[in-house]
Structure formats: C-alpha cells, structure tokens
Structure 1
Amino acid sequence: MQKIKTALLSYGMSGKVFHAPFLELHPGFELLGSWERSKKLIQEDFPNVISYPSLESILEDESVDLVIVNTPIDSHFEYAKKVLLAGKHAIVEKAFTANVAEAEELAYLAKEKGLKLAVFQNRRWDSDLKTVKKILDEKALGEIVEAEFHFDRYNPVLSPKVHKETVNSGSGIVKDLGPHLIDQALYLFGLPNAVSADIRITREHSLVNDYMDLLLYYPDFRVRLKAGYFVRESNPSYVVHGKKGSFLKSRGDVQEDELKLGKKPNLKTWGTEQEGNEGLLHTEINGKVIKDKVLTLQGNYYDYFDGVYQSIINNLPEPVTAQDGVNVMRIIESAFQSSQEKKVIDL
C-alpha cells in the first residue's frame, strides 16, 4: 500500500490524541514527525520520528506529502497557505480559518495547485451523530419540523490555555465548539437560507464569548444550535422533531475520553457506546405508533483518515472539503453579525 508521509504542526493534545493514533493505525500513513517548540514529546511515543525545529524544516522536507495544521485557530490561514504553496496536501483543524475570506483563499489555492485540502471535522464520525443521520436517512420521523443540537458543559473556570481566553481572531466558544455543531447541521440539512444568533459572555472575568444560541432558517423547518459552560444537567444533545415523530439522543461518543486515557483505536470495537446511552425514537411507522430505544451505531475517526487517504491516492473528494469549511465560516460570520445587529441575516 502506498504510504502518505505525514507531519504534524504540533504535538500537544490534538496531535497526541486525535491524529497520531489514527495515523499509526491506518496502513496508508507514515507519521514522519511533528514541529515541536518548547516541549519535545513526540519521540517519547514514537522514537523513530523527527522532532522538527520549525515549520520551514517541514516544508523543506521533500519526503513530506501531507501536513496537519493543528495549531491555534488564528494561525491556521498563515500555516495552511505556506503548506499549500510548498506543494503539500493539508488537513486543517476546526475552525478552518478566522473568517470567510481566508477560507475562500485557501480553497482557491488548493484547487489552483491541484492539492487536497481537508477540514478536520472528526465529529461527523461520532457514534451519536451517525445514529441521528441514520434516523434521518430512513425518514423515520416524516417531514422535519425542527431540530436542536447542544454541546453543553459545566465549566465556569477559565481555560489555562492563554490563546483560548485572550481576545484574538480564533478565540471564543463560537469558533471552538461552534464549528462542530454547525458542521453537523450543514452535513445533515445543507445550507440554511438565513441565520440569527445570540452570542454572549457568561463566565466571570471572561474576555471571550462563551455562550451561543444560533437559529438556522430552512424553508420548512428550523435548526437551533446551542453551546455554553453553565449546563450542569445536560439536555439531550440531539433532538429532532418531525410530523410523524421525535428522536432524542444524548452525546455519548466515547472516542475522545478513551483517546485521552491512552487507549489505542482499532477497527472492530472502537467507538462503541456503553449500554444506557441509546437514543429514544417515538414515531409512527406503517400506521403503528412505536416508542423504543435505538441501538447506537459505532463511531470511528479512522474513517475520516481513510477518506483523506482515498482522496489523495485515488483523487476522490476529501471527506470534509474546503468548501465545507467555507460554509461553516459563512454561518459563523453571519452569526456574529446577527448577534451584534440583533437581526436575522440572510445568506
């Protein structure tokens, strides 16, 4: 199998938890190393890889095929542009960029140079979201009337990561948790016609937005997306109501927690939720009303990386395209405009 030789732009939590384990598992990738600044950690986990001293050392390494831009959001555009100009494929973490103009420029540059550019929206491959998609694909609820997705936490304490709590072009909950919710909504329902939003600061001493309530307007239904840090008792993370019934599902994907514990992913049992987190389907099928639990599908971020592999080797579309990233940024920019002007923004 042809190998895609890959380098990371950091080996903090995201590199160690979300990327390296799947690059190691997939036979089509070879992890060459990571750019490391003050802490030199990657060789503790992968003794045979390189600890690159700079971005330039990665770009000058002709053996590198793919670069994963997993640095703070406000650096995504600068680094991804340099990667593409160096003739290398790129994966860019969410939020894709700081604004729409940057996203569009990267998408254009990748197309112009014939390179693959994928956005790391791994939560399309969460077990819970995959199950919601299955319910929608089966049209088990009839015509959709409304949906509400939550990414709730109880965490009133400010993050120790300085870039998350200082005012910059990438900070705040709208560009941290927001891209997960927005991408999932667009993945399931497509682009809306309009957006309205309420974006606020709720934590004491916070300088950045930490509460969001977005409403996406579709011709025949609405989708609400909410995230905040003062939810001690969570709502169902996915609520979808149709003209025949409803589906409720908690956020039960186990992958992030297990990766943080150092567990290694596999292709058989990985991403399997524990019993008790099943979704509730209450609907009418063939004239019969049913109310029953729905078995949760298996999640696996491996499928994202396999999609990247297929896109590069077989010239297929990326699993999450640059245009997908542009669309998410359009929603984010419209949400900020809506919140500031207190009005609905047409797309």
Structure 2
Amino acid sequence: MTEIGVGLIGYGLAGRAFHAPFVKVTPGLELRAVVSRDSAKVHAGLPDMTVCPDVPALLARDDIGLVIVASPDDLHAEHALGALAAGKHVLVDKPFATSLADARRIAAAGAAAGRLVAIFQNRRWDADFLTLRRLVADGRLGDVVQFESHFDRWRPQPAAVWKEARTGGAWLDLGPHLVDQALQLFGLPIAVSADIATLREGAPSADYFHVTLKYPDRRAILHSSKLVADHGLRFAVHGTRGSWIKHGFDPQEAAALQGQVPGSTGWGIDPSPGRFTGADGVRAEVAGVPGDYRRFWNALAAALRGEGPNPVPPSEAIAVMRVLDAALRSADAGRDVLVAE
C-alpha cells in the first residue's frame, strides 16, 4: 500500500491527542511534518518528527498529500484554503470554520480543486453514541420525542488559554460535537432556540449554552456548562417505548491523553453502561457498543485512495454550521430562528 504523506498544522490538544496518534496507527497514512512554534513539545511526543516553522514551509513539501488543520479556530479557513490552493487534500478539525460563509468557501474551493475535504467529527464513534444509534435503529426506544445531550464540566476558574476566549465560546467548542450527533440521528431541525451566556466571573467568552432543536414531533436539547459539579449526565433520551439514561463519558479522549496507543487492550470500552427503562417500568443495563475513533481514520484513508466515501463530507459539516449559526442568531435576538433563514 502506497502511504499518503500527512502534514499536521498545530500540536495542541487536538494535534497531540486526536490526530498524531491515530495517523500513526492508520495503515496507508504517514505523518511526515508538523507545524509548531514549540519544536521541543513536538519532539517530546514525536522524537524524530520534522517540525516546520510555518504553514508555507509545510505546504511547499511535495511528500505531503493530506494536511490536517488543527490550528486555532479563527485560522481554519485560512489554512484550509491555503492547503487546497497548494493541491493538498484537507482534514479540518471542528469547528469547520467560525462562520457559515467561510465553511461554504472551503467546500467550494475543495470541489473546484478536485481535492477531498473532510471534517473531524470523531464523536460519531463514541461508545455511548454508537450504543444510542443502535437503540434508535432497533426501535427499542420507539419514536424519540425528547433527546437531551449534555457535555458539562466543573471548571469554575477560566484558564488563560485561547480556547477560553475562542469566537463563539463553548458553543463553537462543544456545540459542533453535539449538533453533529443530533443531525446524524434526526436530520436538520426546523428551528433553533438558544440561550448562550457567560456565567463564570472573568470568563472571556460564553461558557454556557442551552439550545433546543425543534422538529415537528420531537425536541433535541443540547446543553453545556462549566459550572456543574455533578457533571456525569451525558444522555437522557425518551421515546414512546422507553427511556435511556447514560452517565459518564466515552473513554477514548482520556486514554489518548494518557498516551495509550489507539486500539490497545480495552480501547473504547465504556465502563459505565446506560440504563433502559421500558414502558412497563422494568429497568435494565444496556451493554455498550465499543467506541473506536480508528474507524474514522480508516475510512478517511480509504476515501483518499478512492476506495470509499468521505466519512464526514463538507455537506454534512455545512449542515452543522447552519445550526451553529442559527443558534448564535437566536441567542442574539432572543427568539426562535428558522434554520432556513
């Protein structure tokens, strides 16, 4: 198998935990260079890696076919468009961009260049979400009428990092994950109602959101706060045949941060099974489907070889951006916003 050379822009949390380790274990991909201002940090995890001083130096390399954009959010469009202009395929970390207009520009540039543009929505392959998809597909829940997706944390003191001050705050940080999962289950909503706020003293951007996606026959509630001491609730899903409640988070992020090799023993096994309560009141634990972010990477490598579909194409990411944008406008206006507006 001919290996596809990969260049990584950025070696923060995303580059270090979610990209470099997975490229390393994906057949057909080879990480060949990283753009970073801190070569010592890169070499601490990747001792022999070439570190480029800037993005143009990376894009000038003929041995790079795929560029991963894991830079700060407000640079996503600039770096993705630059990589496409240089003839590279592109993988953009979430959010796709900081505006719907920029997301559409990137998608159009990829189509014009004949290059693959994929968006990193790894949480489609979370253990809990895969389990929920199975429950929905099997009909065990019946028709879902209320879907709650929580991503709460206990971080009462804002940290002095760019992510705390990012454009859109927590909504453009965690919102892309929660919106993408909801759209995978239910498609685009008709309207969005959003409350996005800054609740922590001294926080430089929004650290709280409560967003309702409105469908004709259901409501999908997406919630996050950084002032939740009891932050274990992940999903509460209610249907005409029963409810499924899930506490605890998919273990892959923690494992990656601890330096575990993706796919090692126990990888993706969720230690906290969800609980199903049927319409008859009987409760039972639900065995979880193992999570595995490698499925995204293997699908991406296959797509680059022309052997399969893009695992997360721009059209799906633009749908996410439409909801993100509608929510921001809803929060500003204090009213429901139609997604088609």
TM-score range, shorter chain: over 0.9
1:186 partnered with 2:178: no
Listed one character per residue, the Cα deviations across residues 136-159 of structure 1 (whole Å, up to 9, x for unaligned) are: 111111111111110000111112
1:165 aligned residue: 164
Among residues 317, 336, 343, which one is paired with 2:328 in the alignment?
336
1:296 aligned residue: 288
Amino acid at match of 1:226: H
Amino acid at match of 1:257: A
Among residues 190, 202, 205, which one is paired with 1:205 in the alignment?
202
1:30 partnered with 2:22: no
Distance 2:65 2:326 in 1: 35
Indicate if the aligned counterparts of 2:39 and 2:51 stay in contact, CA closer than 8 A. Answer: no
Moved more, 189-198 or 306-315: 306-315
2:313 aligned residue: 321
1:283 partnered with 2:278: yes
Distance 1:258 1:141 in 2: 31
Distance 2:318 2:179 in 1: 12
Indicate if the aligned counterparts of 1:165 and 1:171 stay in contact, CA closer than 8 A. Answer: no
Listed one character per residue, the Cα deviations across residues 85-108 of structure 1 (whole Å, up to 9, x for unaligned) are: 111011111111011000011111
Normalising by the residue count of structure 1, what TM-score does the alignment of the two structures yield?
0.94
Indicate if the aligned counterparts of 1:40 and 1:51 stay in contact, CA closer than 8 A. Answer: no
**Distance apart, 1:37 and its partner CA:** 1.1
**Distance apart, 1:73 and its partner CA:** 0.3
1:255 aligned residue: 252
Indicate if the aligned counterparts of 1:200 and 1:209 stay in contact, CA closer than 8 A. Answer: yes
Moved more, 35-44 or 22-31: 35-44
Distance 2:315 2:265 in 1: 32
Distance 2:79 2:317 in 1: 16
Indicate if the aligned counterparts of 1:149 and 1:237 stay in contact, CA closer than 8 A. Answer: yes
Moved more, 307-316 or 79-88: 307-316
**Distance apart, 1:109 and its partner CA:** 1.0
Give the secondary-structure state (helix, strand or coil) at the position aligned to 2:298: helix
Normalising by the residue count of structure 2, what TM-score does the alignment of the two structures yield?
0.95
Listed one character per residue, the Cα deviations across residues 118-144 of structure 1 (whole Å, up to 9, x for unaligned) are: 111111111111111111111111111
Indicate if the aligned counterparts of 2:232 and 2:248 stay in contact, CA closer than 8 A. Answer: no
Listed one character per residue, the Cα deviations across residues 163-189 of structure 1 (whole Å, up to 9, x for unaligned) are: 2234x5x35101011111111111111
Distance 2:40 2:91 in 1: 22
| Residue pairs, 1:1-347, within 5 angstroms | 1-161=1-161, 163-166=162-165, 170-234=167-231, 236-266=233-263, 269-274=266-271, 277-284=272-279, 290-314=282-306, 316-347=308-339
Indicate if the aligned counterparts of 1:127 and 1:299 stay in contact, CA closer than 8 A. Answer: yes
Percent identity between the aligned chains? 35
- After superposition, the CA RMSD in angstroms is 1.5
Distance 1:341 1:330 in 2: 16
Amino acid at match of 1:99: S
**Distance apart, 1:42 and its partner CA:** 2.4
Amino acid at match of 1:328: V
**Distance apart, 1:39 and its partner CA:** 4.0
**Distance apart, 1:2 and its partner CA:** 2.2
Amino acid at match of 1:165: E
Distance 1:316 1:244 in 2: 36
Amino acid at match of 2:164: E
Listed one character per residue, the Cα deviations across residues 26-78 of structure 1 (whole Å, up to 9, x for unaligned) are: 12111102011144332333333311111111111011000100011000000
Amino acid at match of 1:164: K
Amino acid at match of 1:148: E
**Distance apart, 1:315 and its partner CA:** 5.2
Amino acid at match of 2:244: F
Indicate if the aligned counterparts of 2:191 and 2:214 stay in contact, CA closer than 8 A. Answer: yes
**Distance apart, 1:324 and its partner CA:** 1.6
**Distance apart, 1:16 and its partner CA:** 1.5
Residue correspondences, number: 339
Distance 1:25 1:37 in 2: 25
Give the secondary-structure state (helix, strand or coil) at the position aligned to 2:145: strand
**Distance apart, 1:18 and its partner CA:** 0.8
Give the secondary-structure state (helix, strand or coil) at the position aligned to 1:311: helix
Moved more, 324-333 or 261-270: 261-270
Over 3 Å counting, the alpha-carbon distance change for 1:38 and 1:48 in structure 2 is closer
Moved more, 265-274 or 250-259: 265-274
**Distance apart, 1:322 and its partner CA:** 1.1
Moved over 4 A (4+): none
Distance 1:101 1:69 in 2: 18
**Distance apart, 1:340 and its partner CA:** 1.4
Unpaired runs of at least 5, structure 2: none
Over 3 Å counting, the alpha-carbon distance change for 1:114 and 1:143 in structure 2 is same
